[in-house]
Amino acid sequence: MLENLESLDGPVLQKLLRRTIASAAIVGGIAVVVCLLVAPPFATVGLVMGLGLALLNLRRLDAGVAKVEGSGEGSGKVVKKMLRTNTAARLGIITVIAVGLLLVYPPIGVGMVVGLVIFQILFVANVARVVFAQGGVA
Establish if 71 belongs to a structural domain: yes
Domain contains 2: no
Half-sphere exposure (Cβ direction) of 76: Cα atoms closer than 13 Å: 1
In this prediction, residues 27-44 reach a mean pLDDT of 93
Q: Mean pLDDT: which of 13-17, 62-66, 85-89 is highest?
A: 85-89
Could you list the residue range(s) of the whole structural domain that residue 96 is in?
13-133
How confident is the model over 44-71, as a mean pLDDT?
85
Q: What is the largest CA-CA distance in the chain?
A: 52
What domain count does the chain have? Answer: 1
Q: Which of helix, strand or coil describes residue 7?
A: coil
Residues in the chain: 138
Is 55 within 8 Å of 28 (Cβ atoms)? no
Q: What is the number of other CB atoms lying within 10 angstroms of the CB of residue 50?
A: 29
* Prediction pTM value: 0.83
